Amino acid sequence: MNSLKYITVPDFASEDGKITADVKLSYQLFGQELHSAPVVLINHALTGNSDVAGENGWWKSIVGDSKLIDTKKYTVMAFDIPGNGYKTTEILFEYNAFSAYDIAKLFGLAVQQLQIPKLYAAIGSSLGGGIAWEMAILFPNLIENLIPVASDWKASDWILGHNKVQFQILENSKKPLHDARMMAMLFYRSPASFQSRFNRTVNTNLGMYNIESWLLHHGKKLESRFTLHAYKVMTHLLSSVDISKKFDSIEEALEQLKSKVIMIGIDSDLFFGAQDNKETAKILLQKNKEAVYKEIKSIHGHDAFLIEFEQLVEALSDVFKYKI
């Protein structure tokens, strides 16, 4: 049931007005037949795809039969962000053709086209969480539970700066994907995570520190499964996340929100700082919105959303009526 499916959003006009085109989206369904159970939308992160469950699923620890997001109880849906290159080498648009706002609009229109009146939950990690935020503002009646994980409603100055350096590497390096990924991995983990894992140990076969060979391995790994164009698309999208840009303030943007918001932060996240989530929770509560902030305690930084499954399950067990 989880083979790639396609849906075309006709005459889609991009936010900046540069593109009006039919946009073909690929997506996967897991679990229950569409229209027979509550629908959970999962938005993937920067180097992810629609393969969230099953044998190769990047979130298979929490999505599946009798797992947190139980495929015996829910229809699980995941789109591929156009341009992520999953199962296709076709390049249809420039890397900066769309913004996160556009992707959110495409996803929302596709959900409506599939005659899904309501999403029980929209959950996304990192960039995927940013797109979920954008969807919740654009389609206020669509999402019952909005769950951004290790994410935020905006690209902070820190992320904008990081992405600028990523683009410099992508434009100037002899091994652009490889080297950009090595640099990014430093932001996705934390000093304590590296110390606990490597502790200055040496790989004698390679004649270098284990941290160095690990970073080289991750550069090579991404190079083998991702394209330069896709990496540029996703990095650009991450920089474009900002639900406040069509409003006078973030307060005004959040006024539109009708979803219950469950934000999951990570105390050691060096990429999407936990403090930003706490500030957002404060504004939401001042606006009498239903919002809660929960925190994963981990030394592993941003990537803890892929590592600390037990804490993630505990934080979301009440939303998904899951017994621990």
Q: Which two tokens stand for residue 275?
A: 């403090």
User: Of 105, 165, 104, 166, which Cα lies nearest the Cα of 129?
Assistant: 104
DSSP state of 277: H
Record: fold of 158-236: Rna Polymerase Sigma Factor; Chain: A (1.10.1740)
Q: What is the pLDDT of residues 259-307, one digit of tens each?
A: 999 999 999 999 999 999 999 999 999 999 999 999 999 999 999 999 9
Confidence of residue 89 (pLDDT cuts 50, 70, 90): low
Beta-strand relationship, 143-149 and 202-203 = unpaired
Q: pLDDT value at position 324?
A: 75
Q: Where are the domains of the chain?
A: 5-155+243-316, 158-236
DSSP state of 14: -
Domains 5-155+243-316 and 158-236 share a fold: no
Q: pLDDT value at position 323?
A: 85
Q: Can you name the residues that pair with 78 across neighbouring β-strands?
A: 28
Q: What is the pLDDT of residues 295-321, one digit of tens each?
A: 999 999 999 999 999 999 999 999 999
Q: pLDDT value at position 167?
A: 98
pTM of whole model > 0.85? yes
Cβ atoms < 10 Å from Cβ of 255:
14
Across 140-158, average pLDDT: 98
Q: Contact 320/68 with Cβ under 8 angstroms?
A: yes
Mean pLDDT of the chain: 96
Q: What is the pLDDT of residues 188-227, one digit of tens each?
A: 999 999 999 999 999 999 999 999 999 999 999 999 999 9
CATH class of 5-155+243-316: alpha beta
